[in-house]
Amino acid sequence: MQVYNAPLRDMRFVLHELHDSAAHMQAIDRTDVTQDLIDSILEEAAKFAQDILLPINASGDEEGCRYENGVVRTPKGFKDAYTRFCENGWSALASPAEFGGQELPEVLGKMVEEMQCSANLSFGLYPGLTHGAVLALLGHATEELKARYLPKMIEGTWSGTMNLTEAHCGTDLGLLRTKAVPQPDGSYKITGNKIFISAGEHDLTENIIHLVLARLPDAPKGIKGISLFLVPKFIPTDDGRPGQRNGVTCAGIEHKMGLKASATCQLVFEEATGWLVGEPNRGMHSMFTMMNAERLSVGIQGLGVTETAYQSAVAYAKDRLQGRSLAGTKYPDKAADPIIVHPDVRRTLMTVRAYVEGCRALSGWVAKALDLETKATDPALRQESEDFVALMTPVVKAMFTDLSFELSSMALQVYGGHGYIRDHGMEQLVRDARITMIYEGANGIQALDLVGRKLPAHMGRLMRGFFHPVQQFIEDNASDPNVLPLANAFGALQQATAHLAQAGMKDPEEAGAAATDYLRLLGLVALGYMWARTAKIAAEKLPAANGEAGFYKAKLTTAQFFNDRLLPQAGALWSAIKAGKASMMALEEAAF
């Protein structure tokens, strides 16, 4: 009963109108990717998400993955859907042509990813992790490893995983204990236990390629003594078939709050054969290629789930008859008015909508920079884009996922008691959304990454790169009263940034105390900027919009709602940041 129709019109708006896809393709020298091509791929992706992935979302949650004697079975329909996914080329969408990929730009890839996550988050994880592993191997593996593994992974016949967490360490990977012992043939024997490994074992692919963090003998203690290894479930034969079974087994799967069709595995490595990826003791560096990609993907997951929650709540609000409009009966022929007439239901739907569309606009901006950081013909633009991706990765990851849980819960509320029972699938969305706040670096860690690494980097260069276009826009539109809320929020962000630069430099705990509120403040301003630009475009196009007038009017109204109701939180966030660490840190541990 979950409702999802890919928001193609909005996606086209974000790609073509807000972020000028034509200019973008020129900047990355890909004018072959025309607007028509993009639109037709979006349409195909929409069909796949709606027709193949959505129908097995609720049933996948109900059935869950099953574990027996080391074997994990995904729910009914997952294997078939995955096979079609690969046959239709979706697994190869954004991967390099050299290894069989279609090498389409990320601006398109991220939209397709969003659709898959909207329709079936559990499913999306399997190819999503493979794509992340592909990126890590592309960046750091030897040519031999690349040639042996990438084509199979890109076509989707083999899948990928990332193995970081152990029972005693998740955030603090410096504590990890898994060992890697070099062998005379240049390979390594990997021994240790990993937990929370998504897609660590399943029945979708003929082989599973684990990327595993482990310690070499005599490696330095802590985070600088960790190396990355490729450990296949089956060691490939020279002609590319899965050969001998490797020493990695699944000891069980977790029983989780949600995401039940995604297998979360405990993996045991017993002298498993592996190969080094990247340099020894530089495993965190190599893994971060995958992690950064995954963090953005997790943000998109959050956005995807929220879109489905929004559409489902809208459908219910139009259908459910209850009470009469406070402004007088709207549907006298019905027993009651549909609940969408009630202001509080409107408030809920508009809140979800304003965030979802704002986040999609922002994700489009970040995806653009993802393309530009590696493919822009202009080297200055490359650097600028790399900065922007680095700055926005924690924001997209943490804000989109915090919002996802908050907003899918708001959408559930529209259903009343019917949202709390399984039948409509709303409670699944809330349960599924909840993990996105945790994995790939809990959101508190994202905030620390933002204030501890990204802000101080290059003397604040990353932040200035964001401030500049926002400030320019505000100045260019100073006469527009609708830009005032953005200017106010931006002022709060500037003050908070100055505060952090000063207080956080002297005392890292001050930075830590401000981190989460600062991340949200930055995110809100970024959304406010997206909405202000959206409103400007909508206002310009409205007079000649004809059949599309409704679309642009809705954009203007939603932008206004964002300014009226959501952007003012910036002031409260700045107040909280300004208060500093004193009352947060004063309580003695024993007093808790």
Restricted to residues 112-151, the positions that interact with a copy of itself (CB under 8 A) are none
Of residues 290-319, those binding a copy of itself (CB under 8 A): 314, 317-318
Of residues 170-199, those binding a copy of itself (CB under 8 A): 170-172, 174-175, 195-196
Q: 500-528 b/e with 16+ CB inside 10 Å = b?
A: bbebbeeeeebbbbbbbbbbbbbbbbbbb
Q: Which of 37, 257, 478, 484 binds a copy of itself (CB under 8 A)?
A: 257
Cβ proximity to a copy of itself, 193 vs 557, nearer residue:
557
Of residues 510-529, those binding a copy of itself (CB under 8 A): 511-513, 515-516
Residue with tokens 């729910």: 75
Of residues 236-255, those binding a copy of itself (CB under 8 A): 254-255
Closest CA to 440 of 265, 273, 215, 196: 196
**Minimum distance from residue 86 beta carbon to a copy of itself (Å):** 29
**Phi/psi zone of residue 20: left (φ > 0), alpha (ψ -120 to 50 degrees), beta?**
left
Q: Which of 168, 241, 453, 461 binds a copy of itself (CB under 8 A)?
A: 168
Of residues 314-333, those binding a copy of itself (CB under 8 A): 314, 317-318, 321-323, 325-327
CA distances from 70 to 58, 67, 168, 200, 246 (A): 25, 7, 23, 11, 13
Quote the CA–CA distance of 528 and 355 in Å, as a whole number.
Answer: 10
- Catalytic-residue membership of 440: yes
Cβ proximity to a copy of itself, 537 vs 584, nearer residue:
584
Q: Which of 1, 37, 484, 572 binds a copy of itself (CB under 8 A)?
A: 572
Choose the binding region for a copy of itself from 136-144, 270-278, 413-421, 528-536 (rule: CB under 8 A). 413-421
Of residues 474-513, those binding a copy of itself (CB under 8 A): 507-509, 511-513
Cβ proximity to a copy of itself, 99 vs 552, nearer residue:
552
Choose the binding region for a copy of itself from 111-119, 164-172, 240-248, 362-370 (rule: CB under 8 A). 164-172
Q: Does 581 bind a copy of itself (CB under 8 A)?
A: yes
- Here the tokens at position 402 are 């915090």
Q: Does 398 bind a copy of itself (CB under 8 A)?
A: no
Cβ proximity to a copy of itself, 104 vs 447, nearer residue:
447
Q: Does 546 bind a copy of itself (CB under 8 A)?
A: no
Residue with tokens 């996550």: 117
- Here the tokens at position 138 are 């592309």
Of residues 346-375, those binding a copy of itself (CB under 8 A): 346-350, 353
Of residues 73-102, those binding a copy of itself (CB under 8 A): none
For Cα atoms 231, 236, 242, give the angle at the middle one, nearest 5 degrees.
Answer: 105
Cβ proximity to a copy of itself, 231 vs 317, nearer residue:
317
**Minimum distance from residue 571 beta carbon to a copy of itself (Å):** 5
The answer to whether residues 396 and 47 touch, using CB atoms and an 8 Å cutoff, is no
Rg for the chain, CA atoms, rounded: 24
Quote the CA–CA distance of 336 and 371 in Å, as a whole number.
Answer: 51
Residue with tokens 């208060």: 579
Q: Which of 434, 520, 533, 536 binds a copy of itself (CB under 8 A)?
A: 434
What is 185-253 written as a DSSP string?
Answer: TS-EEEEEEEEEEETSS-SSSSEEEEEEEEB-TTPPSGGGG-EEEEEESEEEPTTSSEEEEPSEEEEEE
Q: Does 336 bind a copy of itself (CB under 8 A)?
A: yes
User: What is the separation, in whole angstroms, between the first and last Cα of the chain?
Assistant: 44
Q: Does 561 bind a copy of itself (CB under 8 A)?
A: yes
Q: Does 260 bind a copy of itself (CB under 8 A)?
A: no
Closest CA to 555 of 21, 4, 2, 7: 7
Cβ proximity to a copy of itself, 271 vs 480, nearer residue:
480
Q: Which residues pair with 228 in a beta bridge?
A: 213, 277
Among residues 113, 357, 427, 440, the one annotated as catalytic is 440
Q: 113 Cβ partners below 8 Å, 6+ apart?
A: 124, 128, 297, 300, 304
Active-site residues, by number, are: 440
